[in-house]
Chains A and B, each alone.
Chain A
Amino acid sequence: MSYDATYTKELPLVPERNSFKEIDDVILKPVDSKPTKKWWIAISISGTALAIGLFCWTMTVMYGIGLWGNNNTIGWGFDIVNFVFWIGIGHAGTLISAILFLFRQKWRTAIARFAEAMTIFAVLCATMFVALHTGRPWLDGYLFPYPNQNAIWVNFLSPLNWDVFAVNTYFIISFVFWTIGLIPDFATMRDRTKSGIKKIVYSVLSLGWSNSNRNWQHYERAYLILAGISTPLVLSVHTIVSFDFAVSIIPGWHTTIFPPYFVAGAIFSGFGMVLTVMIFVRKIFDMEHIITLDHIEKMNKILLATGTMVGYAYGMEMFMAWYSGYIFEQFAFLNRAFGPYWWAYWIMVACNVGFPQLFWFKKIRRNIPIMFVLVLLVNVGMWFERFVIIVTSLHRDFLPSSWAMYFPTMYDYGILLGSFGLFFTLILLFVRVLPSVAISEIKAVVPGAQPTHHNEGGSH
């Protein structure tokens, strides 16, 4: 295994290979111990946000989406802004767990489980918005093709319908991928626990996994296949989300650059969110040895790369508007930058393209406080990107008589806050009840974990 030599240098994890027990202890510490004060404070904040969100959610279900700021001209407001934002957040998780796995980037093991969990929670938040914005969410079953008494089928020519399939598939596959990864860890937890109840739970969840090599053989192949199918899936999901806009004929939406632009933006925002959360988690749970500064630096490099790609897309959109000679497209983009929503546009450009350029400097990549501010700006910038794309394209219609402005109401803000509450509550529960680092995977990449004498890795 030639990559071991280069790789293990960057993982100053546990120097001796007889300290596997230490790995178990560090990773499972939050699961085995009682919650700390810090954790209670964190969950009370996120729980409050969730409660506010639930209130606004209930009000919306009871009285309808007239409570929101959407109007005739701006038919898609915070609902779709937040949907695209959260779906994008999810993409980093799959990228880390699947794409980096295929590229044999072994440093991903330390953050993969966590990032996958974030994917699942982010997609949950996203689906909450689309489910709600249909108006009567209890009828959302009709989004799926099933034989019904009205004898009608869904319209497969509609990008919104593709979205239903893409997002649901994405959620299910991410969940399966995550669960399959958890099985060996449940087995480890089952064998460690001293509590009878936990033992029953872990035994059932581990399905009786016995770490047998006859199982590992198939398990590794299955993991590879799941990574292999998740890779095109994650690229396709945001592509299909971008079709929701690109297939329409609204100036500012109707562009072919949208799919790659959206995917790059999704990975960008996702890495921003992964870093935001990870910085806290490694601090709170003393995992600085497992999620190291090297990991964070690598992720910052990816932020720099994807942020620059997004910047290229912004520039190219402007160029295409001018080069197309289509006056409505030209107006849409001038209006974005200098119209009533100029501030949103320039926040977006500054946060997504401007500030991440600081990551060219190694000192900043490895400086946690500065970096933390930068990733927060990335989160803000990417939220504004979706706001700019959706609201500014809609608010200046082909008909000047229907021009309007968008004013979100307290319910819009409340549900947005609630989605963050839901996300962080789920994250906090996740780090408490499940191993937030894949134990069996991290053990496999510790120095000395793999045999040295067989023929496969000739370089040893």
Chain B
Amino acid sequence: MINKLINIFKKVNEDQNPWKDERSENVYAVAALFNTPNEIIHAAEKVSGDGYKDFDVNTPYPVHGMDDAMKLKPTRLGWFSFALGLTGTLTALSMIFYMNGIDYNNIIGGKPFFNFPPSIPVTFALTILFTGLTTAGVLIALFSKLPWLNNPLLDSDYSKATSQDKYGIYIKSSDPKFNQSEVENLFKSLGSSAVSLIYDSKVNEKKIKTPIFEAGFIKILIGVAIATSAITYITLNWLIFQPPFDWMVLQPKVLPQEKSKIFADGFGMREPVAGTVARGYMPYEYKGMPDSVVKLLSNPLPVNEKTLLTGQKRYDTYCSPCHGNYGKGDSRLRGQFPNPPSLLTDKLINWTDGNIYHVITNGQNVMSSYAKQISRDDRWAIVHYIRALQRSQNAKDSDLN
């Protein structure tokens, strides 16, 4: 397999013309070579003066005065650079205005969020970037119509001479005034050192109008798309999670449920020191006691907006998954477990605050204790909120007064 590849490689390397550029019978152009810049300027003046339009001059470097001799219009490339450079300016300014001025404000020493002077460097850089890239892109694609590897001139002796030390001019057969013998005579009379015919390449004869719809091109496009997607997928989903790109996941610390080498018993998770209680987690003194004992407990929190909002937030987080957003017991768990009871029944309305608090703290039937998840004050706030729900869901006309 590898030998085969090496052989192919060698074969291509020895072949001086691997393009297999087959030429057709059609004359593409008549070309002439000259030895000095003066001669080529003279030839270009004569050809353009005779009214030929489809002609061009090939020189190893730009020859001064050739544009005038060929009667070319001044290039309009600069306008493209200017317009697209201006686009860069506006892009940068609007980008900064949106990102820092509107969407994400940075508070830095009380300075305005969008500020023109510090925007100048980035605006300037992007203006240059847009100008440079578009100048290059427009030059290649729009003004030079490159890449054009099927150019019939390429690979001809004419072209090889003009890229080294000769000055060439050619008139295309597509010119309305074109007449092969006349053109040849014209070039000879101008003192050309070599007049030659350039035949069109077979590829150009097919007259492909939109090469982007060619099967070969579409295949390449699909290949590139698949390869790009695969590489992106692998990079984003696999590569960046390999060491050393571990996103600080691997750290010398003990995670929950992990073994510890430090403690003799090997447990990473430790028990509190005997006889101590974590701040805010005083044990519930009525744990497991009957309702009759706890109903005398009274709610220590005042009823105000702040308490109710806290209660609402905690209720929505911890209670609503079973009891429903309005305490009706109509959550989507209904039917999957023993139905969670409604909090709006007469029984609940007649309960004291202490009863409700006791159930939250102690648990009841299937419901387990929430003492570990919700702090003491928040539990009392939930009780207030449940009272608010009970009243609002059974609102009477008299409540309006």
B-contacting residues of A (Cβ < 8 Å)? 1, 17-18, 20-21, 24, 61-62, 136, 138, 145, 151-157, 159, 161-162, 165-166, 168-169, 172-173, 176-177, 179-180, 184, 187-188, 190-192, 194-197, 199-200, 203-204, 207-222, 225-226, 229-230, 232-233, 236, 240, 243, 440-441, 443-444, 448-457
Contacts and interface: CB of A to CB of B under 8 A. Distances in A.
Contact of A196 (B16, B40, B132): B16
Interface stretch (B65-73, B317-325, B349-357, B358-366): B65-73
Given A191-B159, A232-B124, 19 more contacts: A20-B60, A153-B103, A162-B118, A162-B125, A166-B121, A192-B164, A196-B14, A196-B16, A200-B12, A208-B150, A209-B144, A218-B143, A219-B62, A225-B81, A232-B128, A450-B37, A451-B36, A453-B41, A454-B41
A188 B59 CA distance: 11
B151 A210 contact: yes
Interface in B370-392: none
A212 B57 contact: yes
B121 A162 contact: yes
B104 to A, nearest CB: 4
A456 to B, nearest CB: 5
A324 to B, nearest CB: 22
B58 to A, nearest CB: 5
Contacts of A452: 38
Given A166-B125, A221-B75, A443-B60, A209 B146 contact: yes
Contact of A243 (B58, B59, B121, B160): B121
B122 A1 contact: no
Interface string B110-144: 01000100110110111011011101101110011
Contacts of A190: 163
B218 interface: no
Given A222-B139, A225-B77, A18 B68 contact: no
A431 to B, nearest CB: 21
B345 interface: no
A357 B191 CA distance: 57
Q: How many B residues are at the interface, by size bracket? A: 35 or more
Nearest to A450: B64
Contacts of A197: 9, 12-13, 18
Contacts of B36: 17, 451
| Smallest CB-CB A-B distances: 10 pairs | A20-B165, A153-B99, A162-B121, A444-B61, A218-B143, A207-B147, A454-B65, A222-B139, A213-B57, A207-B146
Contact of A233 (B12, B13, B64, B128): B128
Nearest to A162: B121
Q: Is the interface of A mostly helix, strand, loop or mixed?
A: helix
A210 B61 contact: no
19 contacts: A151-B104, A154-B99, A156-B122, A169-B129, A196-B14, A199-B16, A210-B162, A214-B72, A221-B77, A222-B139, A232-B124, A233-B128, A240-B125, A451-B37, A451-B65, A453-B38, A453-B41, A453-B42, A456-B64
- Centre residue among B44, B78, B144, B160 by max chain A CB count within 10 A: B144
Contacts of A188: 60, 163-164
Interface string B14-42: 11111100000000000000011110111
A316 B41 CA distance: 56
B149 interface: yes
Nearest to B141: A207
B99 A222 contact: no
Contacts of B106: 155, 157
Nearest to A24: B164
A151 B102 CA distance: 12
Nearest to A198: B13
A220 B9 CA distance: 38
A162 B122 contact: yes
B245 interface: yes
A341 to B, nearest CB: 31
Contacts of A236: 121, 124-125, 128
Given A20-B165, A225-B78, A155 B121 contact: no
Contact of B149 (A17, A208, A443): A208
A192 B40 CA distance: 23
Nearest to B72: A217
A18 B151 CA distance: 27
Nearest to B96: A156
B148 interface: yes
B63 interface: yes
B170 to A, nearest CB: 9
Contact of B63 (A157, A172, A204, A213): A213
B151 A155 contact: no
A218 B121 contact: no
B88 to A, nearest CB: 10
Contact of A213 (B59, B149, B151): B59
A454 B44 CA distance: 12
B64 A213 contact: no
A439 B176 CA distance: 36
Given A196-B18, A450-B37, A138 B240 contact: yes
B12 A226 contact: no
B41 A145 contact: no
B201 to A, nearest CB: 12
B128 A157 contact: no
B140 A449 contact: no
B104 A138 contact: no
Contacts of B240: 138
A156 B147 contact: no
A20 B16 contact: no
B186 interface: no
B160 to A, nearest CB: 4
B154 interface: yes
Contacts of A243: 121
A194 B96 CA distance: 53
B108 interface: yes
Contacts of A172: 129, 132-133
A219 B139 contact: yes
B383 to A, nearest CB: 37
A213 B153 CA distance: 14
Contacts of A444: 61-62
Given A157-B118, A213-B63, A225-B77, A176 B149 contact: no
A23 to B, nearest CB: 9
B244 interface: yes
B180 interface: no
A313 B386 CA distance: 75
Contacts of A208: 146-151, 154
B146 A61 contact: no
B244 A211 contact: no
A314 B94 CA distance: 40
Given A451-B38, A451-B41, A176 B136 contact: yes
Nearest to A1: B64
B136 A454 contact: no
B59 A216 contact: yes
